[in-house]
Amino acid sequence: MYIETKGLKKSYGEGGSYVQVLKGVDIGINNGEMCVIQGTSGSGKSTLLNCIGGLDTIDSGNVTVAGTSIEGLKGEKLSDYRRNNLGFIFQFYNLVPNLTVKENIQVCEYLTKSPLDMDELLDVLGLSEHKDKFPSQLSGGQQQRCAIARALIKNPKVLLCDEPTGALDSNTSRDILMLLERINKQYGTTMLIVTHNNSIKNMVDHVIYLKDGLVHKDYFNEVKVPAKDLEDL
């Protein structure tokens, strides 16, 4: 498996505020696949993504990405893991306001020795005509496209997306999800996407449904999950 977690546990707080968010999560994703993580609020979706991304430390269990076990990685080794393997996309775009679209993307281009071609990426994402604009001159969808380009420019092995359409209207959300599908097919980027948007389920290879910090029953391998099956859980 390209991404694998075994017995993954994560908690926050102490004493009366102690909460165990992940209670032993086992998942496996193959190279080049798209996977969506769904579940109710508080089920552990973002925490799982953050543990895989090395943004949160884990209590116990193991996370392996592209052959690298991240348990116990700290400091420079953890930074190297994130820089060499991962791209991150979040609900809020976190663009640098006084940099143009192209300059925002270049911030991450400088982090790798083998970046994707800038002009090709701008074309794929529909940003060529906006490359010299500042974030304040862009729509929400265009800003998210810029954030996606910034994550992709360093040619990451894995793209981690936490509610990438959460701040967008339904039409723009659909466009962004279709764009992610196109990127997956064109570049073969492995994707793990946390979202409440049910329309993405028909695009992905796996749906992982978290409930109370555990994978509900089992994640659905190579099966397109009808919306009613998730809504009835």
Residue 164: CA count within 13 A, CB half-sphere: 34
pTM value is 0.88
The Cα–Cα gap between 177 and 182 comes to: 9
Report how far apart, in Å, the C-alpha atoms of 159 and of each of 31, 99, 134 are: 11, 23, 24
- 179-187 average pLDDT score: 91
pLDDT of residue 203: 82
On the question of pLDDT at 89 being above 70, the answer is yes
The pLDDT of residue 199 is 72
Give the per-residue pLDDT at 216.
83
Give the pLDDT confidence score for residue 18 in this predicted structure.
92
Domain boundaries, the chain: 33-59+70-231
CB atoms closer than 10 angstroms to residue 183: 21
Per-residue pLDDT for 223 more than 70?
Answer: no
| pLDDT at 217 (0 to 100) | 62
Question: Residue 158 burial by CB count (10 A; 0-12/13-18/19+): exposed, middle or buried?
Answer: buried
pLDDT of residue 229: 44
Burial 80-101 (b: 16+ CB within 10 A, else e): ebbeebbbbbbbebebeeeebb
Per-residue pLDDT of 194-215, as tens digits, reads: 988 777 777 889 899 999 999 9
Q: Could you tell me which residue, 68 or 220, shows the higher pLDDT?
A: 68
Structure tokens given for 62: 């193991």
**End-to-end Cα, the chain, rounded Å:** 27
Domain 33-59+70-231 in CATH 3.40.50.300: yes
Alpha helices in the chain (DSSP H): 45-52, 75-85, 101-109, 118-124, 140-152, 170-187, 227-231
Q: What is the mean pLDDT of the chain?
A: 89
- pLDDT, one tens digit per residue, over 11-56 is 999 888 899 999 999 999 999 999 999 988 889 999 999 999 999 9
